[in-house]
Amino acid sequence: MTPIPLTSVPNLRDVGGYRTADGAKVRTGVFYRSTDLSRVADTDMPALDGLGIRMVYDLRTADERAAAPDILPNGARAVALDVLADKGIRSIPAQMLQVIADPMIAERELGGGRAIEYFEGSYRDFVEMPSAVSSYRELFGGLATNGNTPALVHCTTGKDRTGWATAALLLLLGVGEDDVFHDYLLTNELLLPAFAGVFEKFVDAGGDPALLEPVLGVREQYLQVSLAAMREQYGTIERYFSDGLGLDAAVQTLLRERMIAD
């Protein structure tokens, strides 16, 4: 895992570098994850262009994409995959920035443990909901296809929808669960500092910062919900890909060939 320090694209990193169970290594320069690309500064664009990204998989809702369109790196093509399409307007991951703009709304929507309930429900949806299944099927099928890498995957903050995408891929590649959680939890180091101004403004408006922590960061228990749902329904990550996403052993082999160095 290599963070790429672009101030206008926090939480941008190369997911490669992790060891698999058989001692191989996930390739670098193939799979990147980040926040959305709506605020890429001119000074950061050369570094982003230098990654050679061919595909940008955007996991946001249509409303999110319309409100903050991506600024694509040169030569990249965008693929819109609305993971939460079937969830509707009650999706906190998709609406979080609007919710936290007003402490009164935040208290109503997130107080009393509701934020954690929302996120745990969403992480279950990432495995079970039809729009999530179709989106992740297209994402991983695309990554297995010639000419579609290097690729970048993102949602709005690059932590939840993107977090499950990355965790599922790393598990399929044979990366140990400890490293998968390490990668997932790195968001708290790489993203939360970018929200310092949001926390300050929220507190100045009379809000309790404790309300924001489970929304703007990630928690191990969130990813555990996705893993539990995956195992309950499919047993193994390979069967999640084959029986859940419809990506058979041949596609899984192609993914490993694309993503794993000898």
pLDDT at 187 over 90: yes
Taking alpha carbons only, the member of 80, 98, 86, 215 closest to residue 154 is: 80
pTM exceeds cut of 0.85: yes
pLDDT on residue 235? 97
CA–CA dist 207, 45 (Å, integer) = 35
pLDDT mean over 224-230? 98
pLDDT mean over 146-175? 96
Per the CB < 8 A criterion, the answer to whether 109 and 99 are in contact is yes
pLDDT on residue 91? 54
CA–CA dist 210, 146 (Å, integer) = 45
- Between strands 25-26 and 31-34, the pairing is unpaired
pLDDT at 241 over 60: yes
pLDDT on residue 128? 97
Cα 190 to chain centroid distance, Å, stands at 13
Q: 192-222: string of b/e by CB count within 10 Å (b at 16+)?
A: bebbeebbeebeeeebeeebbebbbbbbeeb
Burial class (CB in 10 A: 0-12, 13-18, 19+), 104: exposed
Q: pLDDT (tens digit, 9 = 90+) per residue, 33-73?
A: 999 999 999 999 999 999 999 999 999 999 899 989 999 99
Q: pLDDT (tens digit, 9 = 90+) per residue, 6-28?
A: 989 999 999 999 999 999 999 99
Q: pLDDT (tens digit, 9 = 90+) per residue, 72-100?
A: 999 999 999 999 999 865 555 556 666 77
pLDDT at 199 over 90: no
pLDDT mean over 154-164? 96
pLDDT mean over 150-178? 97
